[in-house]
């Protein structure tokens, strides 16, 4: 199974990197007999062995039994590439929020997330979308900042209200 081989290889690489960094864990004079690096090294070795087994199992599994093909036919529905692109777009909205929120402030950033997410999920641009985005900005500011007293980043808004 191709997916198992890819996943197994990725986990093997991860465990190798993890082991490499475990070698750098300093030995403290306060440490016990086992030491701080013992467990991480053990985990890395276990992970490497299991991932290698997954790769081997993937190589010897017949493709007909995989989820990629059923009864010789390709699975129905959107392609993997389309699904990944959609997920990446959704993720990008969150990343943009994290990058901008310290500058544009929490209520504006929330409105932006709501606005772009709604449009991204195929809703046509309308007054309802704009009003929902603006309303969400105010509502979540009231909920988190005014009610729960969470000091959300206010960006330029802090200057306006100071």
State which of positions 67-86 bind other proteins (CB under 8 A).
67, 78, 80, 82-84, 86
| SS3 (DSSP) at 69 | strand
138 lies in the binding site for other proteins (CB under 8 A): no
Of the candidate residues 13, 23, 35, 103, the single one contacting other proteins (CB under 8 A): 35
Of the candidate residues 104, 113, 154, 155, the single one contacting other proteins (CB under 8 A): 113
Nearer to other proteins, 65 or 161 (CB): 65
157 lies in the binding site for other proteins (CB under 8 A): no
54 lies in the binding site for other proteins (CB under 8 A): yes
The residue to which tokens 């100071």 are assigned: 162
Q: State the nearest-atom distance from the C-beta of 159 to other proteins, in Å.
A: 20
Nearer to other proteins, 34 or 159 (CB): 34
152 lies in the binding site for other proteins (CB under 8 A): yes
Report how many helices (DSSP H) and strands (DSSP E) the chain contains, helices first: 6, 2
Burial environment of residue 141 by CB neighbours within 10 A (0 to 12, 13 to 18, 19 or more): buried
16 lies in the binding site for other proteins (CB under 8 A): no
26 lies in the binding site for other proteins (CB under 8 A): yes
Tokens of 37: 């690096």
Burial environment of residue 109 by CB neighbours within 10 A (0 to 12, 13 to 18, 19 or more): buried
Alpha-carbon gap, residue 33 to 87, rounded angstroms: 47
């Amino acid at each position: 199974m191709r997916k198992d081989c890819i996943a197994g290889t990725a986990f093997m690489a991860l465990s190798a990197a993890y082991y490499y960094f475990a070698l750098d864990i300093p030995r403290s004079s306060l440490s016990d007999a086992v030491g701080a690096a013992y467990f991480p090294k053990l985990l890395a070795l276990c992970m490497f062995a299991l991932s290698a087994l997954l790769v081997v199992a993937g190589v010897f599994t017949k493709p007909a039994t995989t989820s990629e093909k059923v009864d010789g036919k390709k699975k129905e529905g959107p392609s993997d590439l389309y699904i990944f692109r959609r997920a990446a777009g959704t993720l990008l909205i969150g990343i943009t929020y994290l990058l901008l929120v310290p500058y544009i402030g929490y209520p504006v950033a929330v409105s932006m997330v709501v606005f772009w997410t709604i449009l991204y999920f195929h809703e046509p641009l309308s007054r309802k979308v704009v009003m929902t985005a603006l309303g969400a900005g105010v509502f979540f500011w009231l909920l988190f900042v005014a009610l729960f007293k969470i000091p959300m980043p206010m960006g330029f808004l802090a200057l306006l209200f100071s």
